[in-house]
Amino acid sequence: MPQTQSIFPLSVSANRRYLVDYAGQPYLIHGDTAWSIITALTKDEAELYLTNRAAKGVNAIIVNLIEHKFNGPFTRAGEHPFTDLQDLSTPNDKYFDYADWVLRRAGELGMVVFLAPMYLGYRHPADNDGWYHEAHLGGMNKCWKYGQYLGKRYAGFSNIIWMMGGDRNPDGVVDEVNSLMVGIKDFDKHSFFAAHAHPEETTAEKYGWGGWLDLNSTYTYMIVHKRLLADYNRRPVMPFVLMESSYEGEHNASPVQIRRQAYWSVLCGACGQFLGNNPIWLFNPGWEKAIESTGSRDMVHLKAFFTSRPWYDLAPDQRHEIITGGLGEFNGMDYLAAAATADQKTLMAYLPSAHAITVDLGKLSGARLRGWWFNPRNGEAQPTGEFQPGIQQMMPPAEGDWGLVIDDKELNLPAPGK
Amino acid sequence: MPDNQIARFPLKIGSDRRHLVDQNDRPFLVHGDTAWSIITALTKNETEQYLTNRGAKGFNALIVNLIEHKFNGPLTRQGDAPFTDLQNLSTTNEKYWAHADWVLQKAAEYGFMVFLAPLYLGARTPKNDEGWFVEALTTGLRGCWEYGRFLGRRYANQDNLIWMMGGDRNPGDCQEHTFAVVRGIKEFDSRHLFTAHPAPEFPTVDVYGWGNWLDFNNTYTYGIVHGKLLADYNREPATPFVLIESIYEGEHNSTPVQIRRQAYWAILCGAAGQFLGNNPIWAFWPDWQAAMDAEGSRSMAHLKQLFGSRPWHSLVPDQFSAKPWFELDFASEKRVVVEGLGEQRGLDFLAAAYTADRRTLIAYLPTARTVTVDLSRLSGETKRAWWFDPRTGQAQSAGEFPGQGLLKLASPADGDWALVIDDAEANLPAPGQSLT
């Protein structure tokens, strides 16, 4: 069981590429998506979900503090967040007492919560997914008061990252979002701020005004690796997380799709990623069964893969200087992502489909090199053998997607995933 | 190639606002190739060499930059500049335009409709020198209007063209200048359609839909191509749209199947046609002659044969209803193809479309798989199915099937495949064989 005291609060690494925990250890965001947990679940159910995720190594969850359309706004005990649901400045303590329990329990289980205090909701004709209208109607003063209430209430929590927005850019409510942020910061001086924009929009561009954004995020349903690399190459450097891409159980997502976007994220320089699953994200019927989904099990292997090497030190091989052949379509889904540590002693790569690749081992450090193929479906690694520096053709051992690790043999590192 | 010779230009918008038609109201499937720099990069002999090759492959449309800038421009091979003062678009140089006329006329002789960019603005780059964005600003509104009037007068009777404003860019600060050129053209030319070529990922109607001159829409994306195509199909009011650009052969590590799938998706997602692009051909960089028989251009010939063998202009995309995925009630969805659909946000996406009378279904599978088709949603007592190999253009029978149930069909081998299911009573020839 993680020792919360030694983990939180998190901070940003000196090179602004990743988060570190309170003890200074790199913190790979290994997230799961639980938007509606506060309103949709009983305590027992929330406990079931959280302990399942903790056992799978999840250390971050996305939570909607005040759910609106999706199994909200009432808790299962019938408490609503505001005594007047049109007025954000009328918080109902009983609602937030329950929310506190969820947030605290997540912290005890070693999870940082990306907490949406005013989920704006996706733009569509009915426009009732989130609190956009209530924010707009209430205006700046009410948003500021609500922010102050939250700041006071949560200043003592160490496992919160405030996540402004929510499937939406702030257009139309920029001042209200700003007022909420100011209100929170009046009391909570330490928690980070992130944001959740409209899909395909860059958080740093849509929420980068005002200088309060600490963490950028990528949110795309398109060619995921391209968006990730664009955020990696953005200046000034800001750590970024793959906040959302396709959810398991939606849009005919395939298991390899869920894996590839997650592997791409870290190999394209993100400081972590979130798995999403329908029905889990809103805890619709069937969610208890879905908590053992293929995606959630595959993510366990992903974490084992990356944490077996200095993942935080990886720089993307975006010019394809190390792996030079078998790269797949640059605008496609079979794109091979590779990254090497700064000392060039470890190469990590992910191939969405099995095909021959060409590796220029001379670009890595080490008189002898040793490699492993890593099966992201079962977490098993098998050695590729040893190599001299030079151009090497390699072929994954079987069909499907594969991870690849090549180390300087002198490091004598164990098989990846161990 | 019969289509090419029969089409009577200029083109018009079809009455159902889903495709383009010729002067006899015959549907015209835009089957294009990309020759941006042809006017400046090639000699006359080379131009004929290119047009002959493309005509023989069944292409019937070209993208052409009327005044090339950075990419093998702005001078013709004979050294003629489009303007005597290259900073001023109103100073047209007759010798340049005489050559441009010749190219357009040659294209007409070979049956090509030309999507002609009169003021290619160019992708936004720090140097901002790919197109004429800066010169348009320097020239000013009056000069742009005069340039437009020059074009309108000169080309009003050149039947085989569609004006294509923009060029890898949204109008931005050149909106008024773009409008001035459009108005100048329209003073003399009311015969030709107008479209536009925006920055990638932007729907053309969203960024060029102002001013009431844009006649049809285009899709231009490097993203999830079928998603953008269906978004343009589902747009209201309905507007014909062409897949004006996606990945070019010879760029971005594109694969042959990538070039094919985006083209097949285009037609099956309701587009009025599509363009193949190839590097080095688009700019006629060295070795362009060797690229003319590249795989992309050969497989496009098969695509045209397939769609030419069925009433493509009546195809309706087979899609889920427009709801968030988590709100879909799959039991009440009325799709024809129900399984084997691939990732809906991926690139193995199966696109399918059926004719309005439901007597023909065409599906494209970027990868081999087993698909399930609900035959009750197609008409005909007996169905006849075919597999069409988009790499070779060969069709093979997949059998005849009575009944109305769910039919499972497995593609015959690895790779991408098209599936055609007809009402057997229609007694259509194998897909790819021309209708008589």
In a domain, B436, yes or no: no
A372 lies in a domain? yes
A417: left (phi over 0), alpha (psi -120 to 50) or beta: left
If one counts the domains in chain B, the total is 2
- Integer-rounded Cα radius of gyration of chain A: 22
| Summary mean pLDDT of chain A | 96
Locate the chain B residue with the closest alpha carbon to A223: B223
Name the token pair of A28: 């790979």
Dihedral angle sign, alpha carbons of residues B415, B421, B427, B431: negative
Kindly report, residue by residue over A284-298, the tens digit of the pLDDT. 999 999 999 999 999
Residue B66: what pLDDT?
98
Question: Does B431 map to a domain?
Answer: no
My answer on whether A52 and A94 are in the same domain is yes
Any B CB within 8 A of A258 CB: no
User: Residue B377 domain-assigned?
Assistant: yes
Say if residue B294 is in the same domain as residue B203.
yes
Residue closest to B116 by CA, chosen among B152, B149, B87: B152
Q: What CATH number should be reported for the domain holding residue A342?
A: 2.60.40
pLDDT for position A5: 59
CATH of residue B232:
3.20.20.80
* Bond before A279 cis per omega within 30 degrees: yes
Does residue A417 lie in a domain region?
Answer: no
pLDDT at A65 exceeding the cut of 80: yes
Give pLDDT, residue A4: 54
The answer to whether A333 contacts B258, with C-beta atoms less than 8 Å apart, is no
Residue where a domain terminates, one of B308, B324, B344: B308
A209 and B CB contact within 8 Å: no
User: Given an 8 Å threshold on Cβ–Cβ distance, is A223 in contact with B325?
Assistant: no
Query: Which tokens belong to B359?
Result: 């007597």
* CB-based contact A251 B224, cutoff 8 Å: no
Q: What is the CATH number of the domain that holds B381?
A: 2.60.40
Q: What is the pLDDT of residue A377?
A: 98
**B345, A284: Cβ pair inside 8 Å?**
no
- Check whether residue B284 and residue B340 sit in a common domain: no
Q: Per-residue pLDDT tens, chain B, 436 aa: give them.
A: 344 457 999 999 999 999 999 999 999 999 999 999 999 999 999 999 999 999 999 999 999 999 999 999 999 999 999 999 999 999 999 999 999 999 999 999 999 999 999 999 999 999 999 999 999 999 999 999 999 999 999 999 999 999 999 999 999 999 999 999 999 999 999 999 999 999 999 999 999 999 999 999 999 999 999 999 999 999 999 999 999 999 999 999 999 999 999 999 999 999 999 999 999 999 999 999 999 999 999 999 999 999 999 999 999 999 999 888 888 998 899 999 999 999 999 999 999 999 999 999 999 999 999 999 999 999 999 999 999 999 999 999 999 998 789 999 999 999 999 999 999 999 999 999 875 5
Residues B65 and B177 in one domain: yes
Q: Do B303 and B330 belong together in one domain?
A: no
Closest to B70 measured CA to CA, from B142, B168, B200, B2: B168
Is residue A21 pLDDT above 50, yes or no?
yes
Instruction: Answer whether residue B114 is part of any domain.
Output: yes
Question: Of B308, B335, B356, which one is at a domain's C-terminal end?
Answer: B308
Spell out which residues of chain A touch residue B326, defining contact as CB-CB under 8 Å. Answer: 250, 278-279, 282, 284
Q: Do B343 and A253 touch (CB under 8 A)?
A: yes
Assigned domain for B167 exists: yes
Q: Where are the alpha helices (DSSP H) in B110-132?
A: none
- Please state the separation of Cα A211 from the chain's center in Å: 22
| CB proximity A354 to B under 8 Å | no
- Asked whether residue A88 falls in the same domain as residue A183, the answer is yes
Q: CA-CA distance, B38 to B44, in Å (whole number)?
A: 10
B435: in domain: no
User: Which residues 6+ apart lie within 8 Å of A179 measured at CB?
Assistant: A140, A141, A143, A144, A147
Of the candidates A223, A252, A332, the beta carbon closest to that of B343 is on A252
Are B289 and B364 found together in one domain?
no
B198 and B248 co-located in one domain? yes
CATH code, A103? 3.20.20.80
pLDDT given at position B1: 37
Residues B108 and B186 occupy one common structural domain: yes
Q: Are the beta carbons of A330 and B253 separated by less than 8 Å?
A: yes
- Model pLDDT for residues A387-398, shown as the tens digit of each residue: 999 999 999 999
Judged by CB atoms closer than 8 Å, whether chains meet at A257 and B326 is answered as no
Comparing CA positions, the residue from A376, A339, A331 lying closest to residue A354 is A376
Assess whether B290 and B421 both reside in one domain: no
Query: Which of B325, B341, B347 is opposite residue A333, by nearest beta carbon?
Result: B347
Q: Are residues A53 and A187 in the same domain?
A: yes
* Residue A101 and residue A188 in one domain: yes
pLDDT per residue over A97-116, tens digit each?
999 999 999 999 999 999 99
Task: Choose the closest CB to B344 out of A226, A251, A327.
Answer: A251
The closest CB to that of B343, out of A254, A328, A332, belongs to A254
Q: Which residue of B has its CA nearest to A335?
A: B253
**Chain A residues in contact with B346 (beta carbon < 8 A):** 252-254, 257, 333
Domain enclosing residue A387, as ranges: 313-411
Q: Does A252 touch chain B (CB under 8 A)?
A: yes
Closest to B346 (Cβ–Cβ): which among A278, A284, A333? A333
> Which residues of B make CB contacts under 8 Å with A?
222-224, 227, 247, 252-255, 258, 325-326, 341-348
Do A297 and A339 fall within a single domain? no
| Residue B404 confidence (pLDDT) | 87
Chain A residue with CA closest to B338: the answer is: A252
Residue from the list A257, A282, A327 with its beta carbon closest to the beta carbon of B346? A257
Cβ neighbours, 10 Å, residue B127: 8
User: Does residue B166 sit in the same domain as residue B46?
Assistant: yes
Are A42 and A114 part of one and the same domain? yes
CB spacing of A330 vs B258 below 8 angstroms: no
**B126 and B226 housed in the same domain:** yes
Last residue of a domain, one of A307, A340, A374: A307
pLDDT band at A2 (very low <50, low <70, confident <90, very high): very low
Interchain pair A253, B347: CB under 8 A: no
**Of B220, B261, B217, B221, which Cα lies nearest the Cα of B239?**
B217
Residues A242 and A317 in one domain: no
Chain B hits for A337, CB-CB cut-off 8 Å, are none
Rounded CA gap, B366 and A329, in Å? 14
What is the rounded CA–CA span in Å between residue A104 and residue A47?
12
Q: Are A351 and A256 in contact (CB under 8 A)?
A: no
Q: Both ends of chain A: CA-CA distance in Å?
A: 19
A128 touches B at CB < 8 Å: no
In this prediction, residue A341 has a pLDDT band, given cuts at 50, 70 and 90, of very high
Which of B253, B325, B347 is closest, CB to CB, to A251?
B325
Are A143 and A244 members of one domain? Answer: yes
The sheet carrying A19-20 orders its strands as A11-12, A19-20, A26-27
DSSP letter at A256 equals H
Q: Which residues pair with B197 in a beta bridge?
A: B166
Whether A284 contacts chain B with CB within 8 A = yes
Chain B contact for A11 (CB, 8 A cutoff): no
Domain region containing B120: 2-308
What would the mean pLDDT of A166-173 be, rounded to a whole number? Answer: 96
Does the CA dihedral A221-A222-A223-A228 come out positive or negative? negative
Of the residues A275, A307, A339, the one at which a domain ends: A307
| Domain match, A82 and A199 both | yes
* pLDDT tens-digit map of A224-279: 999 999 999 999 999 999 999 999 999 999 999 999 999 999 999 999 999 999 99
Q: Are B19 and B29 in contact (CB under 8 A)?
A: yes
Cross-chain Cβ contact B254/A253 below 8 Å:
no
Residue A251 touches chain B, beta carbons under 8 Å:
yes
Rounded Cα–Cα distance for residues B342 and B370 (Å): 11
Which residue among B224, B253, B326 sits closest to A278, beta carbon to beta carbon?
A: B326
Domain total of chain A: 2
Contacts of A222 in chain B (CB under 8 A): 223-224
For residue B347, which residues of chain A lie inside 8 Å, CB to CB? 329, 332-333
> Which residues of chain B are within 8 Å of residue A251 when distances are taken between CB atoms?
325, 343-345
- The whole-number pLDDT of residue B230 equals 98
Record: contact B255-A246, CB cut-off 8 A: no
Measure CB to CB from residue B342 to each of A223, A252, A327 and give the nearest one: A252
Q: Which residues of A touch B227 (CB under 8 A)?
A: 221
Rounded CA gap, B275 and A55, in Å?
A: 51
What is the distance, to the nearest Å, from the Cα of residue B304 to the centroid of all Cα atoms in its chain? 12
**Inter-chain residue contact B347 with A332, CB threshold 8 Å:** yes
User: Which residue, A287, A307, A327, sits at the end of a domain?
Assistant: A307
Same domain for A164 and A299?
Answer: yes
User: Would residue A255 count as lying in a domain?
Assistant: yes
Is B289 domain-assigned?
yes
Q: Which residues of B touch A226 (CB under 8 A)?
A: 222
Could you tell me if B63 and B181 lie in one domain? yes
CB contacts, 8 Å: B325 with chain A: 250-251, 278
CA of A335 to nearest chain B CA: how many angstroms apart? 10
In this structure, are B283 and B320 located in the same domain? no
Cβ count within 10 A of residue B151: 23
- pLDDT at residue B434, rounded to an integer: 74
Same domain, A324 and A288: no
Alpha-carbon distance A257 to nearest alpha carbon in chain B (angstroms): 8
Domain boundary (B308, B333, B359) is at: B308
Q: Which residues on chain B are in Cβ contact (under 8 Å) with A252?
A: 341-344, 346
Same domain, A268 and A359: no
Q: How many CB pairs under 8 A join A and B?
A: 63
* Region A363-374 average pLDDT: 97
Question: Nearest CB to A222: which of B224, B253, B254?
Answer: B224
* pLDDT number for residue B435: 59
Query: Does B371 map to a domain?
Result: yes
Distance (Å, whole) CA A223 – CA B222: 8
Residue A418 lies in a domain: no
The closest CB to that of A331, out of B227, B247, B348, belongs to: B247
- Closest to A328 (Cβ–Cβ): which among B223, B253, B346? B253
